Amino acid sequence: QVCLTYHKAMGERGKVYSSVVVCPPTSFSSQGQTSSSGDNATSSKFVVHRSGLSVDVAAASAQRSMSGQRNNEGSLDETLPITVEPIDPPSTIKLSVPEQVSLLIVNHSSQPMNLQLQMRLSDMTGVVICGSSFVGLGEIPPSGGSCTVDVRLVALVAGLFSVKGCYIVDLSSGMELQQPPLFDVFVKLPAEELEEKKATDIVDF
């Protein structure tokens, strides 16, 4: 809820309260969690909305440390000890034109990890990886250690899509961490195709 405080010219003060703002539920669920209907569960109490994920996880880790809790399976930093988020991702891309995107990988755990980034084509729709889908990241230091890596994406069809299918694999333990969708992007048609489509729509009308 938002509270706005105002001051009138004659010194009168007042407050105006907004209606209650409800954050959207996270679209992320741990791998293997399903609802009774068979769909992926979305009952997490954390708000995960694309960029800013590493900040959310770091905040959860700091809060857990201050409270003295050693292990808390419901904590976001326990659910996602490694996070991947895009750096300044594009809001639009062109159809069939490869686009380079930088990704920030952060190790929130207390142990160094030898990691590999995987972009799995089977989990991607509309916008897919272009080039090598597996990238070795080497050993990432613990407690906020990070690295960046560039990947290339290409759009196969026009429309609005979520870039997903990102996994982090710990090569030492074999642990796999599925990441939430990285970002949303709108795929535009080339100018010539757009003009042809408009002309076709006019003729059909």
Given a contact cutoff of 8 angstroms between Cβ atoms, the answer to whether 76 and 56 are in contact is yes
The pLDDT value recorded for residue 204 is: 56
| Structure confidence by residue, pLDDT tens digits, 4-25 | 888 888 888 888 887 766 554 4
The pLDDT value recorded for residue 25 is: 45
The band of 143, judged by pLDDT with boundaries at 50, 70 and 90, is confident
The band of 109, judged by pLDDT with boundaries at 50, 70 and 90, is confident
Give just the sign of the alpha carbon dihedral 48, 78, 60, 71: positive
Q: Which helix (H) or strand (E) holds 196?
A: helix 191-204
What's the rounded mean pLDDT across residues 48-74?
A: 62
What's the rounded mean pLDDT across residues 154-164?
A: 93
> What integer best gives the mean pLDDT of the chain?
78
